[in-house]
Amino acid sequence: MTARAGFVWATPQHFNRFIEESGITCEHITPHMLAAPFFQATLNCLIIPTGFANPAYSNLLPALRASSRRIARFVENGGNLLVFGAATENPDAYDWLPFPVRYLHDFHPRAVSCSPDSDTRMLIEEYDASCIECDGEFSPFDASCTGNAGGSAVILERKFGNGTVVITSIHEFPSRTFLQAFCAQGRATRF
């Protein structure tokens, strides 16, 4: 069975195509659909792209906040959640997650090192780890730091119920290998 990812954004993006070309069925979910109580989908993974909290690019943050219980339930029941950088000066941009994470917007290339014990190391395997664009860092947080740049957390991972949440400020598409594995590891779960 093919893994199914939900990509949340107002309009289709290049990321949707990248997901499909990685062999994963991609369902485009608008902010209105995400916040609608009648919306249902069966997914292995939910993906929140870079810029979700920046009002210049997106109206997604209010929908994420309105859907926070559904998102938590999705992950608790075995779905995986992949969240990218907020890309704005809003330290509370991740307050819709089921655990605390604070964000500092600071966009520049960084040398990123990853924990060899975590599959999140595959996020950057198609890039030069000595120079990867990141849009910020996380501190404080209630998760494991699995990727850092000069001592600043840029990749977080946390098991939550039967699923996993990965948060990253890396401002690039994840590697196909990571995306395939992360989506396939998530249990097909009703959102």
For the segment 123-135, the average pLDDT, to the nearest whole number, is 95
For the segment 52-81, the average pLDDT, to the nearest whole number, is 96
pLDDT for 1 equals: 64
Quote the percentage of the chain above a pLDDT of 90.
96
Q: What stretches of the chain adopt beta strand conformation (E)?
A: 4-8, 25-29, 42-43, 45-48, 80-83, 101-110, 113-114, 132-141, 144-149, 152-160, 163-168, 189-190
- Is residue 78's pLDDT more than 80? yes
- Is residue 37's pLDDT more than 90? no
Domains and CATH numbers, the chain: 4-190 (3.40.50.880)
The whole-angstrom separation of Cα 68 and Cα 91 is 17
Mean pLDDT of the chain: 96
Question: If pLDDT is split at 50, 70 and 90, which confidence band does 145 have?
Answer: very high
With beta carbons less than 8 A apart as the criterion, state whether 182 and 27 touch.
no
For the segment 34-56, the average pLDDT, to the nearest whole number, is 95
